[in-house]
Structure 1
Amino acid sequence: MTSSPVSRFTVPAIAELPDDIRERILAVQQKSGFVPNVFLVLARRPDEFRAFFAYHDALMEKPGNLSKAEREMIVVATSGANQCQYCVVAHGAILRIRAKDPLIADQVAINYRKADITDRQKAMLDFAMKVALEAYAVGDAEIEALKSHGFTEEDAWDIAAIAAFFAMSNRLANVTSMRPNPEFYGLGRG
């Protein structure tokens, strides 16, 4: 396998980054054993890096009615629809780990309607996909469909915000030609 660049844009050296960003990257490396390429690519613009990860963490790490695995399902399904290789591979690994299921990420990325997930989760992903691909068409009927599966108004906001945030992330990853780290491919598979 040939080694491809992390991005089509210049990636800064970790040693040259502002202290807070360098410390965050090194903490992730300590925990996972590698530095996910998204950290390196976004670090070229420190203010945007900070804003991106602050919003990411606010959406993905908070308590609530959506499990962390369900939040990752939203990312994987919408990233697949947006043809974002980086996010499908990276968040697929996180989904496999959080769901403790080596098959779920591939199923959700390819066709969540046929995945081994609950009807509630399918309704969640139906809504997330509409937000990701046709946000202009979201109306009261979509919110009511979520409510019929036990989701609250706050859950609808969370689902929409995750889908919208990762639509932006997908576009940046595609424009930068961000490569998934090889380590992601095997995580959570067994």
Structure 2
Amino acid sequence: MTPVSSRYPMAELAHLPEDIRDKILEVQEKAGFVPNVFLALARRPAEWRAFFAYHDALMLKEEGSLTKGDREMIVTVTSAANQCLYCVVAHGALLRIYEKKPMVADQVAVNWRKADISMRQKAMLEFAMKVCERSHEIDNADFPPLHAHGFSDEDIWDIAAITAFFGLSNRMASFSGMQPNDEFYLMGRLPREKKA
């Protein structure tokens, strides 16, 4: 396993509060491994709970027109702009899986304008990048192009909130030296083997 951080020790599962330990074990059961972010942030339980509550509110919500792939695409593109290795690799893996496109994460991380994605997704990413890099320049003129692609005002809020939240996540991962799990690099690149 890749070390989680060169600067801060990973929390030990056995010493964590029960609610956090149970959530991490649930993730391990589903993914087959524990993503390093869970143990890296668990060194501060109150912050872990707040971080993952907001993460889940944004990334797991059912309302609105953003798909899971759209949400992971926003994270991958803005994390690339913020040069966050952990989030580009981890969320790029989820993006490949949700979009069922093995090359899409690499494409959007390097140059989303030339990626094999829809015009709707390009409009979404144009706005996300403005929030990421120049949020002080957002004005009313930024909304009609998104409305024209079927995004509601609540969807636009989601695009901005995901971008802003992962701005925090990117900075925490980068300053702490968090490294992506090796498992993320290959996820979604090749078709899954069918079980016999």
Q: One fold, TM greater than 0.5? A: yes
CA RMSD of aligned residues (A): 0.9
How far does residue 147 in structure 1 lie from its aligned partner after superposition? 1.0
Q: Aligned to 1:174, what secondary structure does the other structure show?
A: helix
Q: Deviations over 1:26-84 (max 9, x none)?
A: 11111111100000100000011000000000000111200000000000000000000
Residue type matched to 1:55 in 2? Y
Aligned counterparts of 1:132 and 1:161: Cα–Cα separation in 2: 10
Consecutive aligned runs of 4 or more in structure 1 exceeding 2 Å deviation: none
Residue type matched to 1:6 in 2? V
The answer for unaligned runs of 5 or more in structure 2 is 191-196
Q: Is the 2:86–2:180 Cα contact (8 Å) retained in structure 1?
A: yes
Aligned counterparts of 1:150 and 1:4: Cα–Cα separation in 2: 41
Q: Aligned to 2:116, what secondary structure does the other structure show?
A: coil
Q: Aligned to 1:22, what secondary structure does the other structure show?
A: helix
Q: Is the 2:2–2:180 Cα contact (8 Å) retained in structure 1?
A: no
1:100-119 → structure 2 map (5 Å cutoff): 100-119=100-119
In the alignment of these two chains, the number of paired residues is 188
Q: Is the 2:2–2:182 Cα contact (8 Å) retained in structure 1?
A: no
Q: Aligned to 1:158, what secondary structure does the other structure show?
A: helix
Percent identity over paired residues? 63
Q: Which residue of 1 aligns with 2:17?
A: 18
Aligned counterparts of 2:180 and 2:138: Cα–Cα separation in 1: 32
Q: Which residue of 2 aligns with 1:9?
A: 8
Q: Which residue of 1 aligns with 2:183?
A: 183
> Bigger CA drift: 168-177 or 138-147?
138-147
> TM-score normalised to the size of structure 1?
0.97
Residue type matched to 1:95 in 2? L
